[in-house]
Chains A and B, each alone.
Chain A
C-alpha cells in the first residue's frame, strides 16, 4: 500500500506538478543547494574583483562622508612602475617562500619518516605538533617577538649561557628576514609533517618488507622506495605551503612590520600600508592586481618545477 502511494507521489512529480514547496525545492535541488554559495562568492569575491579593476584606474579621495573618484589610469601605472618598495617586497616574499618552504619540506619529511619508524610515542608527537598549526598566527608573532627580545629575550639569554654575544634578531637588516623565516619554519613544519605522515603510514608495508628480505639497507629503502613513493604527497605539501607562504602577513606584521628599513617588507604588508596607512585606495587596487598576477605566476612556476621533480 505504502509502495503504491509512493508511486503515485512520484507520478505527480513526473507530470511536473509540484505538490508542495519541498517538491518544488527537490525539483530544482541543484540550484537551491549551490545557490547560496554561488551568491556569496559572486557578491563578495567576483563583484569586489570587478570593483578592483575599476578602482585601479582611479584616484579615490575621501571628503567627509563621501568618496570622490577621479579617472587617473596613467598616474596609477606610473606609481606602480616607480614603486621601489613593491619590487623589494616581491623579492623578499619570493626569498621568504622558497627558503621557508624548502626547509619545512626537508624537516617535515625527516620527522614523518622518523615518527613512522618508531613504535612508541606516536600519539604524543602528533598532539604536540598540532599546537602551532591551530594557534593564532598573531599569538605566535607576539610569542616570538618576546623571545627574540634583545635585552631579555630567552634566545639571547641562552646564547649568553654558551658565551655568544646577544644578537639583534629583529632589529638588524641582515638578520631580520632570517628571524622571520625561523618563525615560519617553527609554525608550519608540523603541517608538512601531518600531510607527509599520513602518506608514509599509507605506504605498502609489504613492498618495504620484501626489499628488506632481499637485503636492502635502511639507506636504500629510504632513497629507493620511500621517497620516490612519497613524491606526490611532497608535491601537494609543497603546493599548499607555497600558497600560504606567499600570503604571509600576520607574523611579519607583528614581528617587524616590514622593518628595519625594508628588509622584511612582504607584498601583503606593503599592500596593507598602501591601502590603510597611505590611504591610496586607487593605487592600492592596481597593486592588488599586480600582486594577484605575481601570485599566480609564482605558483605556476612552482607547480612546473614540482611536476618536473615528480617525473624524474
Chain B
C-alpha cells in the first residue's frame, strides 16, 4: 500500500523481521528446553547434550498420565467437532434460508452472541451441579456437551456467512424444477459451502483441543485433557521443567499441523466473520 523505497524499505523489512522473530522465538526456546536435562535448564546453558528423556518420560513412563490425557483430548475434540458441525450447519442453513418468525430467529442469534461474550466460567457452577444431578459428573460426555455448546455460536455465524454467499437463484431454480428444500440443502447448498465446513471444523477442533476453563472444572484425574495436564505440571510441588516443556511442545502439534496444511482455511475462518 505504502511505497517504501531506499532506507524506509530497509527499516520496514527490519521491523518485520523483528516482529516475526519475537513471535517465533518463545516457541523455539521452549522446544530447546524440552531437549535439555533438568540441570541444563536450571543453568540456562546454550550448549548442552540434547536428550529425549523428557519426551520418553512424558509419553512412556509408568507414572505419567499424559497418553491418557492425549487420548481424552482427541476423543473430546473429535466427537464435539463432528456434532457441532452437524448441529451448527443445520442451524445456520435454517437461519439464513428458511422462513422464521423474526423474534425466534433474532432471539436465538442474540442469545448465541451474548453467550459468546460472557466467560464460560460464569456458567460452570450450574453445569457442575446439573451434570452431578444426572450422573454425568466428571465424564467425557459432559465435557463433549459443553464443548459443543461453547463452539456452536462460532460455527453458526461462520456457516451463515458462507450460506449467505450461495446465490439464491440456483436454489430457486432447483425448487422450480421440483427439488424439495431438503434436496436443495443436501445436493446444492452443502457442496457449495465445503470450504466453510472445513474452516469451521478445523477451528472448532483446535479450540476444543485448547479449551481449558471448562475442562479444568468438569474433569477428574481419569478424564483430564491435555491442557489440564499441563497446568498440573506447573502446579506440582517440585516443578519438572523439562517435562512441562515437552508436554507443552506436544500439545501444540495440532496447531503446527494446521499451520502447514490448513492455513488457508484457518485464515478464512478467522477473518470471514470479522471482515463482514
Neighbouring B residues of A153 by C-beta, 8 Å: 44
Neighbouring B residues of A284 by C-beta, 8 Å: 125
* Chain B interface bracket (under 10, 10 to 19, 20 to 34, 35 or more): 35 or more
Residue among B3, B24, B132, B275 making CB contact with A195, cutoff 8 Å: B275
Residue among A38, A135, A254, A288 making CB contact with B210, cutoff 8 Å: A135
Which of B56-64, B193-201, B240-248 has 4 or more CB atoms under 8 Å from chain A? Answer: B240-248
Neighbouring A residues of B209 by C-beta, 8 Å: 136
Residue A49 at the chain B interface, CB threshold 8 Å: yes
Contact A44 B26 (CB under 8 A): no
- Select from chain A the residue with minimum beta-carbon distance to B16: A114
Residue among B8, B86, B118, B245 making CB contact with A295, cutoff 8 Å: B118
Closest Cβ of chain B to A151, distance in Å, is: 7
Neighbouring A residues of B33 by C-beta, 8 Å: 146
Tell me the residues in window 96-126 of chain B with beta carbons closer than 8 Å to chain A beta carbons. 98-100, 108, 111-112, 114-126
Residue B140 at the chain A interface, CB threshold 8 Å: no
Contact A253 B231 (CB under 8 A): yes
- Once bound together, how far apart are the Cα atoms of A275 and B152, in whole Å? 25
Contact A67 B125 (CB under 8 A): no
Contact B146 A44 (CB under 8 A): yes
Interface size on A, residues (CB 8 A): 111
Contact B267 A67 (CB under 8 A): no
Residue A139 at the chain B interface, CB threshold 8 Å: yes
Neighbouring A residues of B270 by C-beta, 8 Å: 133, 191, 194-195
Contact B12 A117 (CB under 8 A): yes
As a 0/1 sequence over residues 245 to 276 of chain B, the CB contacts with chain A under 8 angstroms (1 = contact) are 10111011011101110010011001100110
As a 0/1 sequence over residues 46 to 63 of chain B, the CB contacts with chain A under 8 angstroms (1 = contact) are 000000000000000000
Residue A159 at the chain B interface, CB threshold 8 Å: no
Which of A97-105, A120-128, A171-179 has 4 or more CB atoms under 8 Å from chain B? Answer: A120-128
Residue A94 at the chain B interface, CB threshold 8 Å: no
Neighbouring A residues of B124 by C-beta, 8 Å: 271-272, 275
- Once bound together, how far apart are the Cα atoms of A146 and B119, in whole Å? 27
Closest Cβ of chain A to B12, distance in Å, is: 6
Residue A83 at the chain B interface, CB threshold 8 Å: no
Which of A6-14, A71-79, A304-312 has 4 or more CB atoms under 8 Å from chain B? Answer: A6-14
Neighbouring B residues of A40 by C-beta, 8 Å: 87, 145, 148-149, 152
- Once bound together, how far apart are the Cα atoms of A128 and B27, in whole Å? 11
As a 0/1 sequence over residues 22 to 50 of chain A, the CB contacts with chain B under 8 angstroms (1 = contact) are 11011001101110111011001111110
Neighbouring A residues of B180 by C-beta, 8 Å: 13, 22-23, 26
- Once bound together, how far apart are the Cα atoms of A290 and B263, in whole Å? 39
Neighbouring B residues of A181 by C-beta, 8 Å: none
Tell me if A's interface is mostly helix, strand, loop or mixed.
helix
The answer to whether A30 and B12 touch (CB under 8 A), given A36-B91, A130-B266, A134-B259, is no
As a 0/1 sequence over residues 198 to 220 of chain A, the CB contacts with chain B under 8 angstroms (1 = contact) are 11101101001000100000100
Contact A49 B126 (CB under 8 A): yes
Residue among B15, B98, B121 making CB contact with A114, cutoff 8 Å: B15
Neighbouring B residues of A10 by C-beta, 8 Å: 178
- Select from chain B the residue with minimum beta-carbon distance to A34: B94
Contact A126 B126 (CB under 8 A): no
- Once bound together, how far apart are the Cα atoms of A23 and B117, in whole Å? 39
Residue B226 at the chain A interface, CB threshold 8 Å: yes
The answer to whether A240 and B29 touch (CB under 8 A), given A34-B94, A37-B156, is no
The answer to whether A138 and B91 touch (CB under 8 A), given A191-B270, A296-B117, is no
Contact B115 A117 (CB under 8 A): no
Residue A157 at the chain B interface, CB threshold 8 Å: yes
- Select from chain B the residue with minimum beta-carbon distance to A198: B271
Neighbouring A residues of B118 by C-beta, 8 Å: 247, 291-292, 295-296
- Once bound together, how far apart are the Cα atoms of A151 and B39, in whole Å? 13
**Additional 7 contacts, C-beta under 8 A, given A34-B91, A144-B26:** A114-B15, A129-B23, A138-B212, A143-B248, A186-B23, A195-B271, A292-B118
19 contacts between A and B (CB under 8 A): A29-B181, A32-B90, A36-B91, A37-B87, A41-B115, A118-B12, A130-B266, A138-B251, A144-B26, A198-B271, A218-B2, A226-B1, A233-B274, A236-B275, A250-B227, A281-B128, A296-B114, A296-B118, A299-B117
